[in-house]
Amino acid sequence: MIHDLVMACLSHSSKGLGIKAFTDTTVIEQFIHPCERQIFLDILKIIKVYHEVAQFTQSLGPQKNTLGELPDLSHGYYLINLAKGIEIALEEYYAEINSLEQYCSENERTSLSYVYNALQLKLPVLVFLRNLIMEIQVRKLQGCAMLHNLHQQSEHGDLQLERVIRKIMKPVKYAFFSSLAHWLLFGVIDDVHSEFFIKFTPNDSADSTSCSKSASSSVMSADKTPEDYIWQYEINMDQLPGFLSIIVAEKVLFVGQTVLVFKMRRNGTAKSKTDQLAVKLAELSRDDIYELWNGRESEFFKMVLDLSNDETINVFRIENVINDIKKYVSMRLSEIAVNEVDLESQMGLIKDFYLLGRGEFYLEFCCQMIGTMETYREERFKNITRSFELAATVMGISDDLDLFSLSCQRSTGEPDESSDFHILQGLSLKYTYEWPLNLLFSPKAIERYNKIFRFLLIIRTFQYEIQRVWAKQTWKAKSLPAPLDNKIINLRNHLMFFLNNMQYYIQVDVLESQFSVFMNVIKSKADFEEIQRAHTIFLANVLSQCFLLSDSKEGQANITGCQTQNPIYGTLLKLFSICDKFAHITQTKDPPDDFMGEIDSLNERFGVQIASLIQLLVDVKSASCLGPLSQLLLRLDFNHWFSGKQNVSASSK
């Protein structure tokens, strides 16, 4: 009986057949002495705890099915490795049972108390394993989230349980660091069940089915440019383990994206075969990433895998290894971006066209887009992209514009088709950057450049249009026996004063200063990580100081609904709408019947809005230390011209 009981401790039956017979009360009554029945029941409880643990390992174990095929991996790679770890942790239990079974075989007189005491020593481990399994199942933990849970459990006060949890963690850690190494060194993620903290999220539904098996394979097989893919990899916050900070996770993401850029560079360079660097890179193998690692990939790979050999998860060592790899990749990228691709000249082109650095070109563009003095408002904006190309031809800079293309998307809603503002808001400038600048000019960064571009172009276009109002009124005064209308000229002067100061503030006080700071980082031969960080700070500062940070859609605005997160931006939009309305009524074929009444209304609206803008700028200036903002206030409201005038008009009422 005792021998059978001991053998039941090794039963792996999922149905618990090894202890089913012992749970029959008649068996206990017939064969067990009344004074030992409680001990016997306690032994059965210990065996039951073991069977619960054994059932979990059997359901996820590496056994083959009846057809001899590979095991079912639907539970996840990390859970399977967890089952392996539990099996390793149970080896001491199996060894103890085997010793107990041998002792019972050699000794005829063995008591249940001896068996109970021997099993009682292993009960804490079995209960710990059962509770660990139950927590994972109840919380539905998998992947890196499960590894984080195991890491928390490893900080245990019981040395025996601490040793057990380290054995369990070892296969799971190996799975984690293996995935980490493959992503860092080769840009590969074979993560069917989304268990890793880096995931691939396709932008379109057509790619989602092809990416369900392996994200990396779908990426490499598709015939698209690298920029269509590298930004679809992102951090999976649900699987980010607690022992890794978001900063470290972003570094891991960056390194993998860099490897992808190197692996897919032929797609990006085949478009410009005339470029010597493109031809040189296109001749290399598509999967050849030795140019990035210079033969050190095996060294870095071993560094990552060696992290799994530590008894515990050494957070500081992990961060040091990732930082070393990130630093090496950043230096390699910096060498290519600055020395071979000439990042300085690329940023010069960005400044010339996105930030309207070539003012003479955009003046010609406005002339081509709006037309001559005899062109009425209803006849303009026929073909904006054609006007862009003609302006480049006239200015003789067609070669510089090879990397840029302008597109115009009309709103599908019901905008005022005569509004310049709505038309200009549909413009988008595309920049074809050279490899490996994919990592610097992300789609989000390009959209931010477009937001600044549209904002500047709106100001420049309204400057041109209101300047034409003065020219047209002067021409009418000379050709017709009618004097200049002072109301029109005064309102035109006020609007022009506002636009000129806004343009000077943005172009000189904001863009020039921030751009020079960014260019100093590039000239200092910093690594790519610093360049990327400086570029992000540059865009953030420009958007902030241009009041373009709002909760509206990226790059979109509506002059009729100006309730944005930034009240200054909303007030600017209202002022732009006044400029738009003024240009419209003064240059249309059929002016409104109450023409002067419209002028008076616009003049009054302008006074209210410009006073509101100045007050908002004063409030922001008092709450911040922005030097450029003080300059804007000084120029815009010199000697309190607008604010004082508004106060006088308010007191007279």
Give residues with Cβ within 8 angstroms of 220, minimum separation 6: 263, 264
CA angle 65, 71, 75 (to 5 degrees): 125
| Greater pLDDT, 490 or 486 | 490
Which helix (H) or strand (E) covers residue 513, if one does? helix 513-523
Q: Using CB atoms within 10 Å of the CB of residue 531, give its burial: 0 to 12 exposed, 13 to 18 middle, 19+ buried.
A: buried
* Per-residue pLDDT tens digits for 217-230: 333 433 445 566 78
pLDDT tens profile 260-277: 888 766 444 444 444 444
CA distances from 505 to 134, 498, 512, 623, 634 (A): 63, 11, 10, 19, 11
Q: Where are the domains of the chain?
A: 2-140, 174-204+213-340, 344-652
**Strand, coil or helix: 382:** coil
Has residue 16 got a pLDDT over 60?
A: no
Mean pLDDT of 409-424: 58
| Residues 143, 148: Cα–Cα separation, whole Å | 9
* Closest among 560, 244, 586, 261 to 422, alpha carbons compared: 560
DSSP letters along 152-198, please? HHHS-S-HHHHHHHHHHHHHHHHHHHHHHHHHHHH-----TT--SSE
Would you tell me how many other CB atoms lie within 10 Å of the CB of residue 524? 10
Contact 135, 160 (CB under 8 A): no
Burial letters 589-600, b for 16+ CB under 10 A, else e = eeeeeeeeebbe
CA triplet 159, 162, 165: central angle to 5 degrees? 155
d(CA 389, CA 411): 23
Cα–Cα distance measured from residue 337 to residue 528, given in angstroms and rounded to the nearest whole number? 8
- 444 neighbors 346 (Cβ within 8 angstroms): no
The answer to whether residues 357 and 452 touch, using CB atoms and an 8 Å cutoff, is: no
Distant-in-sequence, close-in-space partners of 288: CB < 8 Å, separation ≥ 6: none
CA dihedral 182, 185, 189, 194 (to 10 degrees): 80
Token digits of residue 140? 């539905």
- Highest mean predicted confidence (pLDDT) among 151-155, 514-518, 586-590, 618-622: 514-518
**Which residue stretches of 396-485 are H helix?**
420-425, 443-479
How many CA within 13 A on the CB side of residue 553?
6
Does position 281 have pLDDT exceeding 60, yes or no? no
pLDDT, position 177: 93
* Integer Cα distance of 287 and 187 in angstroms: 11
Helix (H, G, I), strand (E, B) or coil at 610: helix
Residue 235 β-bridge partners: 198
pLDDT confidence of residue 381: 57
CATH topology of domain 344-652: Four Helix Bundle (Hemerythrin (Met), subunit A) (1.20.120)
Q: Comparing C-alpha atoms, which of 183, 181, 280 is closest to residue 230?
A: 183
Which element (helix H / strand E) includes 427?
strand 427-431
Query: Which of 212-221, 311-320, 329-338, 394-403 has the highest mean predicted lDDT (pLDDT)?
Result: 311-320
Residue type, 182: H
The mean per-residue pLDDT over the stretch 538-549 comes to 89
pLDDT given at position 481 = 63
Tell me how far apart the alpha carbons of residues 408 and 394 are, in angstroms, rounded to a whole number: 21
Fill in the DSSP letter of residue 461.
H
Q: Report which residue type is found at 405.
A: S
Percent pLDDT > 90 in the chain is 18
Q: Tell me how long the chain is.
A: 653
Residue 469 in contact with residue 587, Cβ under 8 Å?
yes
What is the spatial distance between Cα 633 and Cα 459, in angstroms, rounded to a whole number?
18
| pLDDT of res. 459 | 92
Return the bridge partners of 160, or none: none
pTM surpassing 0.85?
no
Give residue 173's pLDDT. Answer: 92
- Rounded CA-CA distance 355/154 in Å is 54
The span from the CA of 423 to the CA of 409, in Å, is 8
Tens of pLDDT, residue by residue over 354-380, are 998 888 888 888 888 876 555 555 455
Indicate the pLDDT class of residue 24, thresholds 50, 70 and 90.
Answer: low
Per-state percent for the chain, helix, strand, coil, to nearest 5: 70, 0, 30
pLDDT tier, 316 (very low <50, low <70, confident <90, very high otherwise): very high
Distance from chain centroid for Cα 250: 9
Bridge partners of 621, per DSSP, are: none
Tokens of 590: 């059929």
Residue 534's pLDDT is what?
A: 92
Task: Report the distance separating Cα 101 and Cα 234, nearest Å.
Answer: 54
Q: Model confidence over 339-361: pLDDT tens digits? A: 777 888 888 889 998 998 888 88
For 173-200, what is each residue's pLDDT tens digit? 999 999 999 999 888 888 888 889 999 8
